[in-house]
Structure 1
Amino acid sequence: MRIDFAGRRVLVTASTSGIGFAAAEGFAAGGAHVVINGRGAAGVEAALARLPGSVAGFAGDLGTESACARLVAEHPEFDIVVNNLGVYGPGDFFETPDSEWDRFFRTNVMSGVRLSRAYAPGMVARGWGRIVFVSSESALNVPPDMIHYGFTKTAQLSVSRGLAKRLAGTGVTVNAVLPGPTATEGTEAMLRPDMDRTGGGFDRVLTDFVATERGSSILRRATTSAEVANMILYVASAQASGTTGAALRVDGGVVDSIV
């Protein structure tokens, strides 16, 4: 299957590294014009230098209303929107303050709500579009040490499913992709305390994390950013026209379910 994005305008949020960068790279290689995003100008410029094809950057925290409004003013139309922006990290339920719950919700959920609300009408008017939410297996398998994170990922599934139904028959599909533990720079930062404590390298500590914290994994390893990006690229393609309202797992089998 050859996936062609020629002529498509694509936004990938939080795409200077990790899953977002891998997805942006795939879209650009497929001929799309891609706008990548990061919070700081330096990170955006560094990522642009590593990307092929027709690419542009937008620096701003899309977890805020002001940055979303500025993005829409600068780039009023996209054919494909990948809502990848998210924050994560462990925190005990009884020690996580309201401010962290608010920050996680604003960043992980409201960024995608605002951007989908802004760009979906144009997609509908043109009769074609793709909206993808990058959720997590934690939406279904809520981790007890990251409840505040899991609830935002579950909320994304509600938004993506409901929006798919709201846009029924328009030619615009809305889906969610659910990665499991993935070898990204963000995951390395999250596991840094364990690496410092044990003296182990990232690969070893990540493998141990999968074994101990995600013991139901069938893959028995973390996925790569490219493996997750492959699903994003497919579901954003013309070939995926029959898939909408779905939660598509790239979790290595962590979620112990046959559906």
Structure 2
Amino acid sequence: MPQQTLGIDLSGRIALVTGSTQGIGHAIATRLAEAGAVVVVNGRDGGRVEDAAARVRDAVPDSTVRGVAADVADADSTAALLEEVPAVDILVNNLGIFGATPALEIDDAEWRRYFEVNVLAGVRLIRAYLPGMMERGFGRVLSISSDSSVVVPAEMVHYGVSKSAGLAVTRGFAKVAAGTGVTVNSVLAGPTHTGGVEEFVEQLVGSDLPWDEAQQKFMREHRPQSLLQRLIEPVEIANMVAYLSSDLASATTGGAVRVDGGYVDSILP
């Protein structure tokens, strides 16, 4: 095997990051662009997609970034995306929804919605892009998962179950790609500082506290297992994604790689 440098170089690779107009997805798109990848930013709203793509270009002036608006939780919209972007080298299934709802109040429609967005959207894209990756002998499929896939929270059981299913999807498709040079992994993100999480924190601890105090209270009362004892910043998730997207991670596949701040109290994953 040829000797590799420790730098992450994604030059010549095409990367699609779903749900990348903000938060973790946008941080991932930016980090992949910094590593040299041609990046496709995705979201449902065309205006927000173009704005997000422009922000990546501003952050990485020599980058090649395009925006494609599509709802990847919808089969027809996904088909339109595949016409625009027929092949990728790096697929990051980042799109996801979450929210606090008492478990006994989650109806069938909401269970289906979480499955459509958090599981089936990623399956559709893997099914579309994986064969080409396998034929070319290189590919990286990454699904952004959550500590909730292992430690299912009582306040959002439907989210935890959907993320647990995502880990099984990753493991199964990694077996499909066995021996082809394509790796398939999940990134297990811990409690991360995004706009959506700020709203979630307010739901649980109230909106009358300054943000720093609210965050500390949230971690203390609702995520006391965290060894980091703070919310993770999106760029910290993006750093792991960039590594797993590179040639350096060629022997890592079928895994749930943790960037959880030590939140999951187990040895594996």
Output the TM-score relative to the length of structure 1: 0.97
Report the CA distance between 1:88 and its aligned residue: 0.3
SS at match of 1:131: strand
Which residue of the other structure, out of 22, 33, 54, is the alignment partner of 2:64? 54
Alignment-derived partner of residue 133 in structure 1: 143
Matched, 1:155 2:165: yes
Q: Distance in 2 between matches of 1:201 and 1:237?
A: 40
In structure 2, C-alpha distance between the alignment counterparts of 1:230 and 1:202, rounded to whole Å:
25
**Cα offset, 1:78, TM superposition:** 0.1
Corresponding residue of 1:143: 153
Looking at structure 1, the residues matched to 172 and 267 of structure 2 have their Cα atoms a distance apart, in angstroms, of 23
1:12 paired residue number: 17
Match of 2:87 among 62, 74, 77: 77
- Which residue of structure 2 lines up, in the alignment, with residue 219 of structure 1? 228
CA distance, structure 2, for counterparts of residue 16 and residue 141 of structure 1: 27
CA distance in 2, matches of 1:208, 1:250: 21
One-letter code of the match for 1:44?
V
Amino acid at match of 1:172: V
For residue 255 of structure 1, report the CA deviation from its aligned partner: 0.6
Q: Extract unaligned runs of 5+ from structure 2.
A: 1-5, 58-62
Structure 1 residue 203 displacement after superposition: 3.2
How far has the Cα of 1:198 moved from its partner?
A: 4.4
Between the aligned partners of 2:92 and 2:103, the Cα distance in structure 1 is 29
Q: Provide the C-alpha distance between the structure 2 equivalents of 1:198 and 1:40, rounded to a whole number of angstroms.
A: 28
For 2:29, the equivalent position in structure 1 comes to 24
Gaps of 5+ in 1: none
- Name the counterpart of 2:120: 110
* Residues 183-205 of structure 1, C-alpha deviations (whole Å, 9 max, x = no match): 0111123234457x441133332
| 1:40-94 superposed Cα distances (whole Å, 9 cap, x missing partner) | 0111111112113100011121111111111111110000000000000111111
d(CA) in 1 for partners of 2:65, 2:240: 21
The equivalent position to 1:41 in structure 2, one of 26, 42, 46, is 46
Tell me the equivalent position of 1:245. Answer: 254
Aligned mates of 2:180, 2:108 — CA distance in 1: 39
* 1:190 aligned onto 2:200: yes
Could you tell me how far apart the structure 1 residues matched to 2:11 and 2:210 are? 40
User: Partner amino acid for 1:77?
Assistant: A
- 2:12 is paired with a residue whose SS is coil
Q: 2:111 aligns with which of 97, 101, 107?
A: 101
Deviation at 1:257, TM superposition (A): 0.9
| Cα contact 2:204–2:218 (8 A) shared by 1 | no
- Which amino acid is the alignment partner of residue 32 of structure 2? F
Q: Quote how far apart the aligned CAs of 1:236 are.
A: 1.1
SS of residue in 2 equivalent to 1:14: coil
Give the 4+ runs in structure 1 shifted more than 4 A: none
Q: Give the 3-state SS of the residue equivalent to 1:217 in structure 2.
A: coil
**173, 198, 212: which one pairs with 2:183?**
173
- Please say if residues 139 and 154 of structure 1, whose CA atoms lie closer than 8 Å, have aligned partners that are also in contact: yes
Is contact 1:194-1:205 (8 Å) kept?
no
What amino acid sits opposite 1:233 in the alignment?
Answer: A
Q: TM-score scaled to structure 2, two decimals?
A: 0.93
**Superposed CA RMSD:** 1.2
Structure 2 residue matching 1:173: 3-state secondary structure? strand
* Fraction of identical pairs, as percent: 48
Residue aligning to 2:101: 91
- Kindly provide the CA deviation profile for residues 131-190 of structure 1, in whole angstroms up to 9, marking residues without a partner as x: 001010100000011100000000000000111011100111000001111001111232
